[in-house]
Amino acid sequence: MLDTLFGPEYHLGMSIWNKILLGLILIASLGFFHAAARTVKTYQYWANKANDFEGILKKRNAEIVALRTADHQHPLEDKTIGIQQLRIDLGRVLANRGRIWTKCEKQKAATVPSGIMEVKVSAEESAAFTDKMLLYVFEEREDQSPGKYLGEFHVKAVSDKQVVLASTTQMVSSLSKHVTESKSPWVLYEMMPTDEYEAFMNLSEDQKNWFANLPEDQKKWASDDKKSERPLRDYLEIFRICEMHRTLFADRWESARRDLSYLEAASLEAQNLEALAEKEKTQVTKELQRANAELTAVANLFANRKSMLAVYQTSVQEAIANNLKYAQEIAKLQKDAADKIDSRMRSMAQFGPRAN
């Protein structure tokens, strides 16, 4: 019936269009085939990438878990511990260290006559300080200039954003010099920092090399191994003992300086006495020489006078002899005269005046 309705021309036209349609379908099939092949290849590529990312994700998740749960018994490959253990250690450290006040600026420092150092310090949280509270003062650490321990103080007075600190002991000159010359901000500790094995963990290579050069008997002091022989140090006791020894040394030093000044004064006095003695010696030598000269002169004069005395004695003896001789002659003359007078008196008594 179709053949009746549609003639041979119609069937010929439909055959051509079917062929064209089949050709177009074939061409489209090739495109779809190519697209399907590209889709399969793309799927394989992203499937491999997904597998790789899944492996990396599992590895990262394992690392995250390790970073979270690693502890001292099961540390990471680089000997570090996880966040949970760090939080535990941090809590323990914070619980054992007390409160800390940073960025405290020194305003004025002076030593009172009793030897106690008084310091005015600015503090934002001044209300947290109470009277007689003990504080341990450090310079705030810097990379280029590490801070120093400045001493043990107690709170003497508190005002608005200002605290007056007083040293618990009489400071030696070296420590008070550190306090007065300090220009860095201060850190105030309510409790003295404690020593821990972890203090020497995560050192740089330069620091490790420096510790490696220490003598064998001192390497244990820089060990972070809890099983090592390094004893944990009590810094407060060490600082107090050091301050005691430094005070004793300062006393001995001042005593030695006083003794030295006394010795120098005594030496100067001895030198002055020696110079005076030399001067007196020179003067006595001159006087001795003058006395010897006078003695020689006196001796010469004595010899001269002695010779003159001998001459005078001879003259006196001769004069005495002559005087005796003259006296004898005078006595003889007197006797003769007396005899004559006596004879004349008797004659006058017998014969009267005419007897003459």
CA dist 128 and 130 (Å) reads 7
Question: What digits encode the pLDDT tens for the residues 150-194?
Answer: 888 989 888 888 889 998 888 777 778 888 888 888 888 888 887
Q: How confident is the model at residue 47, as a pLDDT?
A: 83
- Each domain of the chain, given as residue ranges in start order, spans 2-64, 98-240
The pLDDT-based confidence of 2 (bands split at 50, 70, 90) is very low
Contact residues for 194 (Cβ-Cβ < 8 A; gap 6+)? 96, 97, 232, 235
What's the confidence (pLDDT) of residue 267?
Answer: 92
Beta carbons within 10 angstroms of residue 53's beta carbon: 12
pLDDT of 260 over the 90 cut: yes
Q: What is the pLDDT of residues 52-86, one digit of tens each?
A: 888 888 888 888 888 888 887 778 887 788 888 88
Architecture per CATH, domain 98-240, reads as Beta Barrel (2.40)
Residue 174 — φ and ψ, nearest 5°?
-65, -45
